[in-house]
C-alpha cells in the first residue's frame, strides 16, 4: 500500500487508469446479457461487504475494480441489459458516455454564461437543433423569447414550470396580497392534470406549496386520456367559486399505458383561464423525431407554455438528461433568478446572455450539453429515427403475440414501444406472473394499474435490445404464465 499522498491529478496515471476503466466498461457491456437482469441480493448485503471505516491511505485502482466485480455488479439491476423492459429504459450509448466523461474531465461549472460561455451556448444551440428534429413550434426556439434548457429530470423541469406559472398567476391577478404561503391569500391556486399523469406532477406541486387538495386529478376516458370536457367544466366551476386555475399538466404518453392526452382540446380550456400549460412528453417525446409518429406528440404544442421530454429515456443519451422548452423565458427567470453580489458580472448586466442558473433549482450546473451534442453528432438523426421505428415495430409484434394467446389480453392498445397487458385469469395471476418473470433473470418488466386492473408493462427501448430479445421476452412470459 503506498503511503505517500498521490497527486489529485497525474496525467500519466490518468491515461493508464482511464484506459483500464474504459476497458472495464466495454467488458461490462459485452457480458451484461449473460447476467441476471435483476439483482437478487438481500437488503444489507452490499454494505456487509464494505469496510466499516473509511480508508486513511490510498488504494490502487485495481482494488476498486475488484470490488466493482465482486460487490457492486452483483448488486446492480442492469438497466443496459437487453432484457430490461421495465419502467422506461434509460438507454445509454458510447458517444453519450464519452460526453459525460468529457464533462467531468473539463470540470467547468456553467451557472452563468460568464463562468463558461461554451457550456451555455452549446446547450442553447443543441436544444434548438433538437427542437427542429422534434418538429416543435418556433415559439420554443431561442431566437425569440423562448428557448430550451437541460434539467436532470422531468420532475425538476415540472417543478420549475409550476413555480413560473405561480409567479405569472400571482402577477396577473394584480392582487398584491395573493401570494402563495401568505395567509392573506383568499384565492387558492388550483392545478389540473389527469388521474393517469405521472406522480412527479403531484410531487412538484406539493414542493411548490400547492397542497394536494388543490390538485384536480381529472378522470380519464377508457383509453386513459384526460377528459378535456371534464377539465373545462372543472376549471370553470373553480373559477366561479373564486379559485385561480393556474396550471395544467397534459401528458403525451402516460407511464402506465402510453395514453396521449388531447393537448389541443386541453389548450382551449387552459387558455380561457390564462393558466400555464405544461406538456409532459417524458418518454414519448423522443418519437417526435420520426415525422410519421409526430402528429399526436406535438399536437397542441403551439399553445403550451412549457414542453419537456427525456433524451435519457429513448434517445441514447445516458441518464440524466431532461430537455425542457419554454415559450417565454421571462416568467421563468423572474421566478428563479437570484443575483447576489458574488455572482455579478458584466455579461449578465448587459442582458445579452442566458444564465441557466435562472432556469433551474440549483445554482451550479454540469456541462450536460456535451453528451447530447455528441450523441446527435456521432449517431446522427437518421439512425436515431431508425431505432425508434424498430422499437415501435417490435412492440406491435409483441402485442400481436399477446392478442393471439387466449390466456392473455392487452389492457390498452400498444402505444409506440409500450405494451400493457395481463392475464385473463385476473389480477392475482398477473401479479404472480410478474414475480416469476422477473425472478427468471432474463427479462425485467414492471407493474402498473390500467383501467383498474393489474398490468404488466413491456417498454422496448434498451440500447442493446434486439428484435430477438423481445421474442425471448415473450417466450419467457408465455412459458411462465
Q: Which of residues 262-281 bind its own copies (CB under 8 A)?
A: none
Interacting residue with its own copies among 115, 220, 417, 430 (CB under 8 A): 115
Interacting residue with its own copies among 85, 113, 309, 421 (CB under 8 A): 113
Question: What is the nearest approach in angstroms of its own copies to the Cβ of residue 267?
Answer: 25
Name which of 37 and 277 has its Cβ closer to its own copies: 37
Q: Which of residues 419-458 bind its own copies (CB under 8 A)?
A: 446-449, 457
Interacting residue with its own copies among 33, 175, 333, 378 (CB under 8 A): 378
CA distance 43 to 50: 14
Name which of 264 and 447 has its Cβ closer to its own copies: 447
Question: What is the nearest approach in angstroms of its own copies to the Cβ of residue 373?
Answer: 8
Any contact of residue 291 with its own copies (CB under 8 A)?
no
For residue 281, CA distances in Å to 44, 86, 367 come to 36, 18, 23
CA distance 249 to 266: 9
Name which of 114 and 268 has its Cβ closer to its own copies: 114
Angle at 80 between CA 77 and CA 85, to 5 degrees: 80
Beta bridge partners of 150: 323
Count the residues of the shown chain that bind its own copies, applying the rule CB under 8 A.
167
Interacting residue with its own copies among 75, 144, 295, 426 (CB under 8 A): 75
Name which of 386 and 478 has its Cβ closer to its own copies: 386
Name which of 159 and 263 has its Cβ closer to its own copies: 159
Name which of 18 and 264 has its Cβ closer to its own copies: 18
CA distance 132 to 163: 27
The sheet carrying 408-410 orders its strands as 408-410, 418-423, 453-459, 446-450
Of the ranges 57-65, 222-230, 231-239, 394-402, which one interacts with its own copies (CB under 8 A)?
57-65
CA distance 123 to 231: 36
Q: Which of residues 314-353 bind its own copies (CB under 8 A)?
A: 316, 318-320, 335-336, 338-344, 347, 350, 352-353
Name which of 129 and 405 has its Cβ closer to its own copies: 129
Name which of 94 and 264 has its Cβ closer to its own copies: 94
CA distance 370 to 375: 8
Three cell numbers written together for 425: 385469469
CA distance 316 to 217: 32
Write the interaction track for its own copies spanning residues 5-34; mark x where CB under 8 A is met and - where it is not. Answer: xx-xxxxxxxx-xxx-xxxxxxxxxx----
Helix intervals (H) in 32-179: 45-48, 61-67, 94-106, 117-134, 154-172
Interacting residue with its own copies among 208, 248, 267, 287 (CB under 8 A): 208
Name which of 232 and 280 has its Cβ closer to its own copies: 280
For residue 275, CA distances in Å to 71, 172, 257, 359, 435 come to 51, 10, 27, 20, 43
Write the interaction track for its own copies spanning residues 355-374; mark x where CB under 8 A is met and - where it is not. Answer: ------xxxxxx---xx-xx
- Tell me the CB-side half-sphere exposure of residue 65, using CA atoms within 13 A: 14
Question: What is the nearest approach in angstroms of its own copies to the Cβ of residue 192?
Answer: 15
Name which of 5 and 406 has its Cβ closer to its own copies: 5
Of the ranges 118-126, 217-225, 258-266, 292-300, which one interacts with its own copies (CB under 8 A)?
118-126
**What separation, in Å, do the N-terminal and C-terminal C-alpha atoms of the chain show?**
54
Of the ranges 37-45, 233-241, 399-407, 408-416, which one interacts with its own copies (CB under 8 A)?
37-45
- Tell me the CB-side half-sphere exposure of residue 7, using CA atoms within 13 A: 6
Question: What is the nearest approach in angstroms of its own copies to the Cβ of residue 82?
Answer: 11
Residue with grid cell 458510447, as numbered in its chain: 94
3-state secondary structure of 27: helix
Q: Which of residues 379-418 bind its own copies (CB under 8 A)?
A: 379-383, 386-387
Interacting residue with its own copies among 35, 135, 188, 239 (CB under 8 A): 188
3-state secondary structure of 428: helix
Q: Which of residues 125-184 bind its own copies (CB under 8 A)?
A: 125, 129-130, 132-133, 152-156, 159, 163, 166, 179-183
For residue 72, CA distances in Å to 28, 66, 98, 295 come to 12, 9, 22, 43
Amino acid at each position: 500500500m503506498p503511503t505517500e499522498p498521490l497527486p489529485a491529478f497525474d496525467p500519466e496515471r490518468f491515461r493508464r487508469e482511464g484506459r483500464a476503466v474504459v476497458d472495464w466498461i466495454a467488458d461490462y457491456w459485452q457480458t451484461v446479457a449473460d447476467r441476471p437482469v435483476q439483482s437478487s441480493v438481500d437488503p444489507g448485503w452490499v454494505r456487509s461487504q464494505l469496510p466499516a471505516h473509511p480508508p486513511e491511505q490510498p488504494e490502487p485502482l485495481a482494488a476498486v475494480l475488484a470490488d466493482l466485480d465482486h460487490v457492486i455488479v452483483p448488486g446492480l439491476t442492469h438497466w443496459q441489459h437487453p432484457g430490461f423492459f421495465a419502467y422506461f429504459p434509460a438507454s445509454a450509448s458510447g458517444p453519450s458516455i464519452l460526453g459525460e466523461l468529457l464533462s467531468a474531465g473539463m470540470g467547468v461549472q456553467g451557472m452563468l454564461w460568464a463562468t463558461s460561455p461554451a457550456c451555455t451556448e452549446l446547450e442553447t444551440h443543441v436544444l434548438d437543433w433538437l427542437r427542429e428534429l422534434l418538429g416543435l413550434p418556433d415559439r420554443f426556439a431561442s431566437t425569440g423569447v423562448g428557448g430550451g434548457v437541460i434539467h436532470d429530470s422531468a420532475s425538476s423541469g415540472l417543478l420549475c414550470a409550476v413555480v413560473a406559472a405561480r409567479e405569472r398567476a400571482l402577477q396577473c391577478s394584480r392582487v398584491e396580497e395573493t401570494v402563495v404561503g401568505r395567509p392573506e391569500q383568499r384565492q387558492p391556486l388550483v392545478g389540473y392534470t389527469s388521474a393517469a399523469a405521472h406522480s412527479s406532477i403531484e410531487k412538484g406541486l406539493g414542493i411548490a406549496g400547492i397542497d394536494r387538495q388543490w390538485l384536480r386529478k381529472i378522470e380519464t376516458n377508457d383509453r386513459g386520456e384526460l377528459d378535456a370536457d371534464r377539465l373545462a367544466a372543472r376549471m370553470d366551476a373553480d373559477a366561479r367559486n373564486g379559485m385561480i386555475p393556474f396550471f395544467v399538466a397534459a401528458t403525451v404518453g402516460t407511464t402506465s399505458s402510453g395514453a396521449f392526452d388531447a393537448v389541443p382540446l386541453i389548450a382551449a380550456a387552459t387558455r380561457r383561464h390564462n393558466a400555464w400549460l405544461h406538456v409532459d412528453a417524458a418518454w414519448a417525446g423522443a418519437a417526435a423525431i420520426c415525422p410519421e409518429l409526430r402528429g399526436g406528440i406535438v399536437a397542441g404544442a403551439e399553445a403550451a407554455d412549457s414542453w419537456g421530454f427525456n433524451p435519457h429515456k429513448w434517445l441514447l443519451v445516458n441518464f440524466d438528461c431532461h430537455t425542457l422548452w419554454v415559450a417565454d423565458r421571462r416568467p421563468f427567470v423572474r421566478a428563479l433568478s437570484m443575483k447576489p453580489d458574488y455572482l455579478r458580472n458584466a455579461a449578465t448586466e448587459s442582458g445579452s446572455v442566458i444564465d441557466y442558473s435562472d432556469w433551474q433549482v440549483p445554482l451550479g450546473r454540469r456541462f450536460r450539453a456535451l453528451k447530447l451534442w455528441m450523441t446527435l453528432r456521432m449517431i446522427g438523426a437518421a439512425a436515431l429515427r431508425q431505432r425508434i421505428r424498430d422499437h415501435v415495430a417490435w412492440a406491435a409484434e409483441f402485442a400481436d403475440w399477446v392478442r393471439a394467446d387466449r390466456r392473455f389480453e392487452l389492457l390498452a392498445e400498444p402505444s409506440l414501444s409500450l405494451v400493457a397487458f395481463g392475464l385473463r385469469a385476473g389480477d392475482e395471476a398477473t401479479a404472480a406472473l410478474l414475480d416469476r418473470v422477473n425472478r427468471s433473470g432474463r427479462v425485467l418488466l414492471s407493474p402498473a394499474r390500467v383501467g383498474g386492473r393489474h398490468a404488466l408493462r413491456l417498454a422496448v427501448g434498451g440500447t442493446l435490445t434486439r428484435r430477438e430479445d423481445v421474442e425471448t421476452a415473450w417466450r419467457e412470459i408465455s412459458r411462465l404464465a
